[in-house]
Chain A
Amino acid sequence: MTSYKENATLESCFRPGSTLCAGCMEAIAFQNVGRVTDNGVKTVFTIGTSCAEVSSLAFPNVVAWGRGDAPPDDFARSFSILHNVFESAPTLAEAVRDVADSLRDHGALSAPVQVVATSGDGGALAIGLRALLHTIHRRTRVTIMVLVNEIFANTGFQYSPATTPFASTSTTPAGAASPGNMMPPLDYVHLAIAAGAGLVAQLSPAHGKLFQKTMERSLVCEGTAVVFVPAPCITGWKFDDGQTVEIATLGARCGVFPAFVWERGKGGAVKDCPLDAADRPALEEFLGTQRRFNHLVRRDPVTGGFAVREGSEEVVARFRDWTQANVERMYRLAELK
């Protein structure tokens, strides 16, 4: 394993030039994963249509991918990326994995190849859930990184199966007759474990060292490694730039998307998110940072803190119940072997 400091000196395959929103968690995740993959192994990324794709691979703009300022002489540092439709990233990665393995099996390729698939939660959990689960089910030796911003950001911030309860999205808007999204999110962490993944994590670069270590482990996982990256979306969640990592940290600590790492045969752990709600930051502190929850909380002009809006007490109480159930669920999943 590379130390955190050493990793910071590596060269990311995600380079300047993307048109992602400044401070977007996707860019932060790509920067970090990009450095982890600078490990002496030829790297291939696959990417389904998403914000990340249209913002980093749009001709004639700069292609924001590649290692180094010039094509590397060292083949192991060369980098390729393939885009296809929303749901395709896991299957594309599986195909690359199979071809590389077949060539190595024939003695036709001496260098190892590592493959990373990236999707949004719309691509992986809505239109592409079938592709995701079957690639996992076939124990494909790839890392799948799902950037969970809880909305279809690329098409205008519509509800996704990962949307947090009571969030206002463009297709589940909060209004006088509706408190926002009424559906609990899909239990995608459990689904990935049940489908047969070798490593499953819910983790963002807000937990920097753990994120790096987990991504390194994912690249040498014998089966499929799936890392769900909670990805606060500046435009969709409606917060000010500069708050991305803070919100990602708060969301994990208060129990909305607890940091979680699990490996088959070893079990797992919830990190930085106590089981007892009293030991966690108040839910209102997380909700108050984003205007998608503006219908539930407001800033108290006296204390400066966030308070539940009058009339929303029952909804926020249900939100708290869901959050507690969510944390308990993650603790139970951690016990699986």
Chain B
Amino acid sequence: MSTIERPVLPLAHEPTPSGEIYPDAIDLERVRAAHVDQFTQREQVTVDGNTAAALAVLQMWRCLIYPGFPITPSTKWIETIASKIADEPRTKKKVKLLEAEHAVADYLVGAAAACRDLIFPTATSSVGLDHMTETTRSLGASGLGNVMLIDVYRATANFPLCIEGDPSDTLAHRDDGFIQICTRGKQQIYDTILQAPCLGMHPEVLTPTMPGYYGIKDSHRSARLTVEADKAIHAFQDGWIQPCPLPGLINGDTAFGNCVTSKHFQGFKLSQRRRMENVLRVLPAVGADFEKHFGRPGLAFFDEVGWPEHGSVDIAVVGMGPDFGTFEALRESFEQYAGLQVAGLAMRLLTPFPSEAVRRRLEKAQVVLVVNQAHHYGRGHLTLDVVDALSTLPHPPRVVSAFAGLGGADVSEATWERMLEQARAGEDGRHVEPAAFFHEGRPL
């Protein structure tokens, strides 16, 4: 022991499975009290998707630092936050510009581990997310549910470079360990980001979140958005986010990010998987509570359109993103024209994939048309998940797989009609290709 007199800061402490925690080391009430409201009442604004996402994180009192690095089409997220902070002399929030996306991901590890009761968001796209990959996989296994990585979808690869939005980036990261939630429309972007930390920081989940939206189509186009008062958001989030039961680097005496022998690796991965599986139980509860607070639909596994109570339809469409809205718009007219009952699911929760809920919804369909918008050498990321979900049925519906909207191309009405015709052929028992490409109303 030291023979030197040192100042002593005695604090109560208690053991946890991850080391000692000093619960009184950080006074979060001071942080909450210092928050400067963006909105004091519910308001209507007209904004693009990146701004909607920026407003949501600015309104959270637990967000103090916004690390980021620009990449199209997510750049306006960090620019908006920087601009709002620059205009508000009372706020102590800070933007942190790093030198590359990899550094952003590393920074998220350090910051989120330093204080597990604060929320650390960033936004990126495409190869920016790819550049983070080494550390997104650390984050995914970390238990740091206070990390939120907003992915503004953009096609991956630089040969050829394409800055428009298809979800090939998020779908290439299905196994990184993030809760991946797809959104469409400004309101859903805003609402999802408000709910994501409640899910990720839930003590039975403790898993980082990756809400996402389509680049250009949703990131850059403006629409009406209802924003809530900051205090209402705080009341909602505080009902879900309790003090983390595990120590952070600052309020703890802990070692974080250890390596393990292969014998113990299995247990860590199993634990990671079980936390992810808990999402399927916690997410609907968060969503229902959000709806109770704000009167709008909260988090859900998918959006449903056109489903009869008995659940039997001729064609069920599974897709994601804003192009699903075009299908919604023409669904009834196609039903009348074809004399078939047609319904659809727009997927929200991508990881963990809600297989059981999807199976229950699709089990009485004659044929399922899955629309994939990202490059895949097989039948499509979404198709594989849907086929897997249906695989336990004794007589699963036939699955027709389509690719459309690659590179962020619009999926036009004509393209939707052509894909529905393909599904109709499948429903008639005719031969259809295992996976077919469609663009501007024609098969390729």
Contacts and interface: CB of A to CB of B under 8 A. Distances in A.
Interface stretch (B20-28, B50-58, B420-428): B20-28
B250 A74 contact: no
B252 A80 contact: yes
B2 to A, nearest CB: 5
- Describe A's contact surface by its main secondary structure: mixed
B192 interface: no
B111 A98 contact: yes
Contacts of B444: none
Interface in B89-130: 92, 94, 96, 98-100, 102-103, 106-111, 113-115, 118
A82 B65 contact: no
Contacts of B113: 82, 92, 96
A79 B249 CA distance: 8
Interface string A53-69: 11001111001011100
Contact of A76 (B9, B30, B34, B135): B9
Contacts of A66: 253, 255
B8 interface: yes
Contact of A108 (B2, B28, B254, B264): B28
A95 interface: yes
Contacts of A80: 19, 247-250, 252-256
Interface string B357-377: 000000000000000000000
A126 to B, nearest CB: 14
Interface residues of A, number: 60
Contacts, number: 200
Nearest to B67: A95
B98 A91 contact: yes
B158 interface: no
Interface stretch (B10-18, B226-234, B331-339): B10-18
B295 interface: no
Given A59-B264, A74-B9, A81-B256, A99 B114 contact: yes
A2 interface: yes
Contacts of B258: 57-59, 63, 83
B434 interface: no
Contacts of B3: 6, 9
Interface in A264-280: none
A108 B114 CA distance: 14
Contacts of B64: 99, 102, 106
A103 B253 contact: no
Interface of B: 1-4, 6-11, 13, 15, 19-20, 22, 25-31, 34, 64-65, 67, 92, 94, 96, 98-100, 102-103, 106-111, 113-115, 118, 134-135, 138, 247-250, 252-261, 264
Interface of A: 2, 6, 9-11, 38-40, 42, 44, 46, 53-54, 57-60, 63, 65-67, 71-85, 87-88, 91-96, 98-100, 102-103, 105-111, 113, 130-131, 134
